[in-house]
């Protein structure tokens, strides 16, 4: 089967690019011809909250991607549709995650279907964003308007999809494991290379945004530290106001127990942070599914998270981690203390090694292939 993927690819950075690279590899391994059309401009600089959209790290999975698409350049939308027609694919896949891209994706999908009768599939991270705007609903309706089939990765996204497209043809497949960052390292080696000492280590990883609830985790730390010694390692670029978090750390008197690495972690260094950690904490206030959980599972790291969106579907309470109420520092502190006091790491890691088999890329590939089956 010939497949065109429209979406982010290296040298653009982030989880969407990693996802598309892994999907490209999985589909190729199953014998499909896969072509990737990426962005030459993903976000206008005025709308991008980070320091750079480029990945300064090594390309984890080499793929051949054409950077043709400009999210705000209508002329490029026609060029991409013409390029898709040249490939004469059996399916066109879009990785969809926010309404900002709705005009661009809708135009490419409409023109592609006009130029060649190819089914269009959206793989949906989200239908509506975690941090909304008044334009989300009309843009989402536009973005979903020319799509034949959908893949969703949590019940939350499924429900959101059916609110906009009640009779949508979809498959629900869990977010696959992010197996793109190499093999785990010995914990002692990872900590040595990061300049960290021994002792209990909690990892918060990824872009820092308000809905990810880092402030809740910080508020939990005094109670945790009252009972056990712990270091919190925050690794990720701040997309929210960093000064408010640093002021909170000072106000709580936990500066000596918190290490902040305010930068996008290069691909080749991700394994250092996960290998060094004892547990990964996602204190999210809103979520659909999370790639952070799937990175943790790749490294067999237990997860403590909150009961929002699809996170309780991914983290099995008492088996692969703990699930606690959102926005509740006391409950989060209790879970962290219990994890270390009860020495749950080995037991949880063994269960993760068995559990993560359900998060395979082949399951996603099979769902995609089913859309081309008469």
**pLDDT tens across 85-102, in order?**
999 999 999 999 989 999
The pLDDT tens digits of the residues spanning 260-285 come to 999 999 989 999 999 999 999 999 99
* CA–centroid distance for 264 within its chain: 14
pTM summary value: 0.90
Number of helices (H), then strands (E), in the chain: 14, 13
In 3D space, the residue among 364, 327, 373, 372 whose CA is nearest the CA of residue 151 turns out to be: 364
List Cα–Cα distances, 161 to 135, 299, 332, in angstroms.
Answer: 17, 31, 31
Strands (E) across the chain are located at: 2-6, 33-41, 65-70, 91-96, 120-124, 149-152, 170-172, 201-205, 231-235, 258-261, 279-282, 303-306, 321-324
343: alpha, beta or left, given left = phi > 0 and alpha = psi -120 to 50?
Answer: left
Examine residue 11 and say whether the peptide bond preceding it is cis (omega within 30 degrees of 0): yes
142/303 Cα distance (integer angstroms)? 36
- Residue segments in the chain with a per-residue pLDDT below the cut of 50: none
DSSP label at residue 97: -
Percentage of the residues of the chain whose pLDDT score is greater than 90: 84
* 95: exposed, middle or buried (Cβ count in 10 Å: 0-12, 13-18, 19+): buried
What is the model's pLDDT at position 373? Answer: 58
Q: If you ran DSSP here, which 8-state letter would residue 334 be given?
A: H
């Amino acid at each position: 089967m010939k497949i065109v993927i429209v979406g982010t690819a290296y040298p653009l950075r982030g989880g969407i690019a990693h996802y598309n690279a892994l999907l490209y590899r999985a589909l190729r391994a199953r014998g499909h011809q896969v072509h990737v059309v990426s962005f030459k401009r993903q976000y206008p600089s005025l709308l991008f909250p980070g320091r750079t959209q480029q990945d300064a790290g090594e390309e984890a999975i080499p793929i051949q991607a054409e950077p043709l698409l400009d999210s705000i350049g209508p002329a490029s939308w026609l060029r991409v549709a013409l390029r898709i027609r040249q490939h004469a694919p059996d399916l066109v896949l879009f990785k969809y995650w926010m309404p900002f891209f709705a005009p661009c994706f809708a135009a490419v999908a409409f023109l592609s279907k006009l130029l060649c009768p190819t089914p269009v599939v959206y793989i949906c991270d989200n239908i509506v964003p975690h941090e909304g705007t008044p334009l989300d609903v009309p843009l989402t309706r536009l973005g979903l308007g020319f799509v034949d089939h959908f893949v969703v990765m949590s019940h939350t996204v499924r429900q959101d999809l059916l609110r906009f497209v009640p009779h949508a043809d979809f498959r629900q497949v869990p977010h696959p494991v992010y197996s793109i960052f190499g093999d785990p390292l010995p914990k002692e080696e990872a900590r040595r290379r990061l300049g960290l000492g021994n002792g209990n280590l909690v990892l918060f990883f990824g872009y820092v945004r308000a809905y990810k609830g880092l402030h809740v985790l910080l508020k939990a730390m005094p109670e945790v530290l009252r009972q056990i010694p712990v270091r919190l390692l925050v690794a990720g670029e701040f997309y929210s106001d960093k000064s408010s978090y640093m002021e909170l750390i000072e106000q709580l008197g936990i500066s000596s127990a918190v290490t902040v690495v305010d930068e996008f972690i290069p691909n080749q260094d991700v394994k250092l942070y996960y290998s060094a950690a004892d547990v990964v904490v996602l204190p999210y206030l809103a979520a659909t599914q999370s790639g952070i959980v799937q990175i943790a599972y790749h490294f067999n790291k237990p997860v403590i998270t909150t009961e929002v969106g699809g996170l309780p579907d991914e983290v099995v309470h008492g088996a692969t981690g703990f699930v606690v109420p959102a926005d509740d520092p006391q409950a989060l502190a209790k879970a962290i203390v219990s994890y270390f006091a009860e020495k749950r790491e080995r037991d949880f890691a063994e269960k993760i090694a068995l559990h993560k088999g359900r998060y395979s890329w082949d399951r996603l590939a099979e769902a995609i292939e089913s859309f081309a089956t008469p």
